[in-house]
Amino acid sequence: MAIRLFSISILLFAGALTPAQTTTTSNPDAPPISPQNPNMTSRGLDNDKEGLYALWTDYKRNLNPEQQRNAYPTAKEYLRRWGGETDAETKEVKKWVMEYERQMYARDMYTAYNARSYAKVFELGRPALKSDADNFVALSLMVEAAHDNSLAGKSEFNSEAADYARRAIKLLEDGKVSKADPFKSMDLARSFLNYALATMVKDQSPAEAALAYAKALKVQDNPYNRDPIVYHRMGIAIYTGQLAPLSAEYNDKFGGKQSSPEQAAMMTKIMKLADQTIDAYTRAVALLDKPEQKDARAKAMGQLTTLYKAFHNGSDAGLNEMIAGVLANPMP
């Protein structure tokens, strides 16, 4: 095939080897007269471009699988030569190549993921993102690979995958994802990606984790709303990343001083965060209802009681009722 394309190129450019004829006038001050015949280089380029586009179209539409395989290298050659142009044909070839490469990378990444070869998933995913930064499947599969890898106690991919999770979430929030793959639904995609992000950054960035946990749990169709560990982790993240720092700032700014509008506004924020933290711990306690979870429930209950009293004048009145009814209410 390379020989055929080279031969076509030589024929098409043959006219460009002959210098264009020009005429001059005896008056040196007169403007030059344009050549009578157009330069053949541009015509040859146009013909070559149209020929390669037609060849790609033929390969793409051919029912013979052997011929169809030639479509991709032909399209890549087209883009190598004319990829910077903005005509409709070039845009069509670009779009086709992007989709072809997405499917190619996805196929290989699925194979590696199913084989639990998580390092291979990243080896394939990184170049996929270089040529297609919005490749949602590649981003998501690397996040899934890192998450599954961390379940085995290995976290070497977490920092990199956290960034991929952020990028995938932004694509969802910006409405740039038309298919949920590799997830079963858009809701599951939103929930998992936020949950995975929160889990990966909870120790280094608890404030970010708190927001991500909340997003994961507020998705209508999410698999985590009966998981006490998720609520407990969210409670810790809110307290560590948001409530405690804001309370410390409040004490520094307003401790021992008279009330002011600024002080009241900050106190309102603190109470809202306290409500969210208490709610998360309360849900964790309510869901730790199995006999084998007795010790975990007792520990979480002790944490919840201390926190509840701190914001209820040292009293735990109403706490048991809150635990009994919390799961019937939406998260604050």
- pLDDT value of residue 60: 81
How confident is the model over 304-329, as pLDDT tens digits? 999 999 999 999 999 999 999 999 99
How confident is the model over 143-194, as pLDDT tens digits? 999 999 999 999 999 999 999 999 999 999 999 999 999 999 999 999 999 9
- pLDDT value of residue 116: 97
Q: What's the pTM? A: 0.77
**109, 136: one domain:** no
% of the chain exceeding 70 in pLDDT: 86
Q: Which two tokens stand for residue 162?
A: 């956290």
Task: Give the burial string for 191-230 (b: 16+ CB within 10 Å, else e).
Answer: bbbbbbbbbbbbeebbebbbbbbbbbbebeebebbebbeb
As for how many domains the chain has, the answer is 3
d(CA 62, CA 59): 5
**307, 262: one domain:** yes
- Is the residue at 7 inside a domain? no
How confident is the model over 90-102, as pLDDT tens digits? 899 888 888 888 8
**pLDDT over 60 at 36, yes or no:** no
Specify the amino acid at residue 42: S
**164, 234: one domain:** no
Closest to 101 (Cα-Cα) out of 65, 140, 73, 63: 73
- Is the residue at 220 inside a domain? no
- pLDDT value of residue 45: 64
- Region 217-226 average pLDDT: 94
d(CA 243, CA 237): 9
How confident is the model over 38-47, as pLDDT tens digits? 444 455 567 8
Of 114, 137, 164, the position where a domain reaches its end is 114
Domain span at residue 69 reads 45-114
- Is the residue at 13 inside a domain? no
**173, 94: one domain:** no
- pLDDT value of residue 57: 87
d(CA 238, CA 214): 10
**277, 192: one domain:** no
How confident is the model over 280-310, as pLDDT tens digits? 999 999 999 999 999 999 999 999 999 999 9
